[in-house]
Amino acid sequence: MPHGKLRALGLHGWRTSGAILAQQLQRKGLAAALDDLLEIDCIDAPHTATGPPQPDVAANFQGPYFEWWDDHKAEDGTHTYMGWEESLDYLAAYIRERGPFDGLVGFSQGAIVSLVLAGLQRRGLALGGLPGIKFCLLFSPFQSRDPRHAAAYEGLIDCPAMVIVGEQDPFKSWSLPSAKLLKDPVVMMHRNGHSVPGADWEGVPRVRAFLEGVAAGGEADSANT
């Protein structure tokens, strides 16, 4: 690849870890299928999980487990993501010390973080003085329910992005609408559930083309499928 590999920060899901995200990307071969194009630095959130992980996570992956925040819901229905400010400071410091990073790869809660970071940075409200996020790969993303993140969604987020959701994902109805927060996203489905697809996924060539477009500094493929 003439432009060299892109570097991305990998943001894991709720009550998992950077090591678990790396395994999720590796076990079915997706990381290997993209290895010549993309290097992913999968990191732990700064907060130890405040409770147990999902049963399927506990059954398949060893801890320790982490989270980007703990969701507190008030009687009036307002959500507060406890620990968000610390996570934002931690991510800014990590990017400053270990970067630059070209983009973000997020799964589930990590995809929420990715969308919020891209939106806030575009509006000058986060990651000040750091290189702009060039792309996001969002696996099973959601829209944040914390009012502090509302500014991230004021207007479409103008960041090249792929939204990738499983056909059997029980949270599909939450994930697909998040694509409407982005300007011209690539929206793709895979046949599995709340998971990362493998190297045999028919969408891999589209992901590769998207990354090649980002690396070349051109327009990423924005046609939905």
pLDDT at 141 over 60: yes
How far is the C-alpha of 8 from the C-alpha of 72, rounded, in Å?
A: 30
Instruction: With H, G, I as helix, E, B as strand and everything else as coil, classify residue 149.
Output: helix
Residue 151 has pLDDT above 90, yes or no: yes
Given a cut of 70, is residue 223 above it in pLDDT? Answer: no
Name the token pair of 128: 């000040």
Asked if the model's pLDDT at residue 222 lies above 90, the reply is no
How far does Cα 48 stand from its chain's mean position?
19
**Tens of pLDDT along 97-116?**
999 999 999 999 999 999 99
Q: What is the mean pLDDT of residues 106-130?
A: 98
Mean pLDDT along residues 47-67: 96
DSSP string, 66-117: EES-EEEE-TTS-EEEETHHHHHHHHHHHHHHH----EEEEETHHHHHHHHH
Domain boundaries 6-216, CATH class: alpha beta
| Per-residue pLDDT reduced to its tens digit, 6-20 | 999 999 999 999 999
pLDDT given at position 3: 55
User: In this model, does residue 225 exceed pLDDT 90?
Assistant: no
Burial (CB count within 10 angstroms: exposed 0-12, middle 13-18, buried 19+), residue 149: buried
AA identity, residue 48 = T
Q: Give yes or no for residue 153 having a pLDDT over 50.
A: yes
CA distances in angstroms from 53 to 17, 41, 48, 66, 93, listed in the order given: 10, 22, 11, 9, 27
Answer yes or no: pTM beyond 0.75.
Answer: yes
pLDDT per residue as tens digits for the range 161-200: 999 999 999 999 999 999 999 999 999 999 999 999 999 9
Q: pLDDT by residue (tens digit) across 24-36? A: 999 989 999 999 9
Strand partners, 137: 105, 162
* 117 touches 106 (CB < 8 A): no
pLDDT score of 4 more than 90: no
